Chains A and B, each alone.
Chain A
Amino acid sequence: MVRVQTEDFDPGGELEALIAGRTDVGASVSFVGHMRARNEDRDVETMTLEHYPGMAEKVLGELEAEAHRRWPLQASTIIHRVGPLKPGDRIVLVITASAHRQAAFEAAEFLMDWLKTKAPFWKKESGPTGDSWVSSRSADENAAQRWTASPKSK
Chain B
Amino acid sequence: MKVLYFAWFRDRIGLAEEEINLDASGDQTVRDFIGDLVARGEGYSIAFEDMSVVHVALDMQEVDHDTLIGSASEIAFYPPFTGG
Contact = CB atoms under 8 A, between A and B. Distances in A.
Same assembly: yes
Interface of A: 33, 49-52, 54-55, 58, 80, 91-92, 112, 115-124, 133-136, 140
What does DSSP make chain B's interface, helix, strand, loop or mixed?
loop
B60 A49 contact: no
Given A122-B7, A122-B79, A133-B8, A55 B60 contact: yes
Nearest to B59: A55
Residue of A33, A122, A134 contacting most chain B CB atoms (<10 Å): A122
B84 interface: yes
B83 A123 contact: yes
Q: Which of B57, B78, B80, B84 has the most A CB atoms < 10 Å from its CB? A: B84
B82 interface: yes
Contacts of B11: 133
B84 A92 contact: yes
A33 B83 CA distance: 10
Interface of B: 4, 6-8, 11, 57, 60, 62, 76, 78-84
A123 B82 CA distance: 6
A122 B78 contact: yes
Contacts of B4: 52
25 contacts: A51-B83, A52-B57, A52-B76, A54-B60, A55-B60, A55-B76, A80-B83, A80-B84, A115-B83, A116-B82, A116-B83, A118-B62, A120-B57, A120-B83, A121-B82, A121-B83, A122-B7, A122-B81, A123-B82, A133-B7, A133-B79, A134-B82, A135-B80, A136-B82, A140-B84
A135 B82 CA distance: 7
Contacts of B81: 116-122, 136
Given A52-B78, A115-B83, 15 more contacts: A49-B83, A52-B6, A55-B57, A55-B60, A58-B60, A117-B81, A120-B57, A120-B78, A121-B82, A122-B7, A122-B78, A122-B82, A124-B7, A133-B11, A133-B82
Given A54-B60, A55-B60, A120-B57, A136 B80 contact: yes
A53 to B, nearest CB: 10
Contacts of A54: 60
